[in-house]
Copies of this chain bind each other. A is one copy, B any other.
Amino acid sequence: MEFTPHPGFVLWFTGLSGAGKTTLARAVEAELRARAMRVEVLDGDIVRQQLTRDLGFSKEDRDQNILRVGFVAQLLSRNQVAVLAAFISPYRDTRARVRAQTTHFIEVFVDAPLEVCAARDTKGLYARALAGEILHFTGISDPYEAPEAPEIHLRTDQLTVTECVQIILSALEARRLLPPAR
């Protein structure tokens, strides 16, 4: 299979649990694959299995988790892979550290109000967090530091997945990171 050369980049999806990070990453992945690009999706479920099984959810452990992902994202993106990273990544300074070591870092703020995320409760986690069964739950018992100047800001309670994907693809196009569809 032949691949379209492109410079490689990291689309970093940050936001609350249930905001739609992985859903958007997977939808963008399909679009990029249709353009014969090399793509890897990294998300919490994959990474905490393979790379960071030892880590919990304290600030220190979350930071370690994100920095390890940042290292992998850097390795991949500098080899012309499009990396779609979907992590709550609640701390601004940690995201900034990952940004600093990546050439094309595009922060995507996947934004939906806490009430909306809690109502969706895709994984049943909010119910458990509100019942006090999960410590360190972002938005409930742990902080979420929203991006101050993300490259892309998506209100997923107001936009459809397709609309969000279009916005992301346009942003990639504007940066000449997207080859034409075949």
Contact = CB atoms under 8 A, between A and B. Distances in A.
A94 to B, nearest CB: 15
Nearest to A82: B79
A34 interface: no
Interface stretch (A24-32, A69-77, A143-151): A69-77
A75 B2 CA distance: 18
16 contacts: A3-B5, A3-B80, A38-B79, A40-B75, A40-B79, A50-B67, A50-B68, A51-B51, A51-B68, A51-B71, A54-B54, A54-B64, A72-B72, A76-B79, A79-B79, A79-B81
- Smallest CB-CB A-B distances: 6 pairs: A50-B71, A38-B79, A79-B81, A51-B68, A72-B72, A40-B75
